[in-house]
Structure 1
Amino acid sequence: MIVGIGTDMVVIERFSAALNRQPGLAERLLTSAERELSIESQAARFAAKEALAKALGSPGGMRWLDCEVRRNGQGQPYFDVRGTVEARVKAMRIGRIHLSISHDGGFTTAMVVCES
């Protein structure tokens, strides 16, 4: 059963400008592994985390660093959750999180579907 759906879109140039304008922002939003990626991929990961937060009902108190977007052996993105995000996933009895990410033409989008 679907228990949450979230989507987000980020303008890559605007995301890059925000990171340049606000020292430390990248460290608050992205894990060290995510910060090593291209700016397009960083923006995509931020969009994915925003979409996940929406799918989880946007509860307060969740930490951005408590979820990381990774890729499996086939290149498919997935979330590695821990801490505050893992607690919310367990509270909602979510068994599977589907994630789709795309970026093109200066934009990135992410879609998340949570299943119980």
Structure 2
Amino acid sequence: MAVVGVGVDVVDVDRFAATLSRTPGIAMRLFTPAERGLARPERLAARFAAKEAVAKVLGAPPGLEWHDAEVVLATGGRPSLRIRGTVAAAAQRLDIASWHLSLTHDGGVAIAMVVAES
């Protein structure tokens, strides 16, 4: 396996929470129903950072759908990515076979790091 790309994104949790409050429909556009079930703003901010990091790995091609990159938790709480649709198609063009994801939130910021391998 070879690293195809690395993406990192940082989100200010308070600013993100304010955006969600000000524009409630944005959560519907950004997150899957399962992700929206995580009511805590820092968790949503981390998931948004993950989606942004995925887009960076892929070179931010036009037409990516936010719902096509979903953060899911394995038993024990380890985060991983479930991709489909537009994100899966872009990943296939880059021969991406596997994804690695790390999330954190502390001190008012949420950070995601994504590594894609062929």
TM-score w.r.t. structure 1 length?
0.96
For residues 25-78 of structure 1, give each alpha carbon's deviation from its aligned partner in whole angstroms, at most 9, with x where no partner exists. 000001111111121111100000001110111111000011110011132111
Q: CA RMSD in A?
A: 0.8
Q: Does 1:19 align with 2:23?
A: no
Q: Does 1:99 align with 2:97?
A: no
| Distance of 2:63 and 2:21 partners within structure 1 | 25
Q: Which runs of 4+ in 1 moved over 3 A?
A: none
- In the TM superposition, residue 12 of structure 1 has moved relative to its aligned partner by 0.4
Overall identity of the aligned pairs, in %: 53
Question: 1:10 is aligned with what amino acid?
Answer: V
Question: 1:25 is aligned with what amino acid?
Answer: I
**Unpaired segments ≥5 residues, structure 2:** none
| Distance of 1:64 and 1:97 partners within structure 2 | 17
**Unpaired segments ≥5 residues, structure 1:** none
Aligned pairs (5 A) from 1:1-116: 1-37=2-38, 38-116=40-118
For residues 71-112 of structure 1, give each alpha carbon's deviation from its aligned partner in whole angstroms, at most 9, with x where no partner exists. 111321111111100111111110111100000011110001
Alpha-carbon contact 1:68-1:81 (below 8 Å) kept: yes
Question: 1:111 is aligned with what amino acid?
Answer: M
SS of 1:88's equivalent?
A: helix
SS of 1:20's equivalent?
A: helix
Question: 1:109 is aligned with what amino acid?
Answer: I
TM-score w.r.t. structure 2 length?
0.95
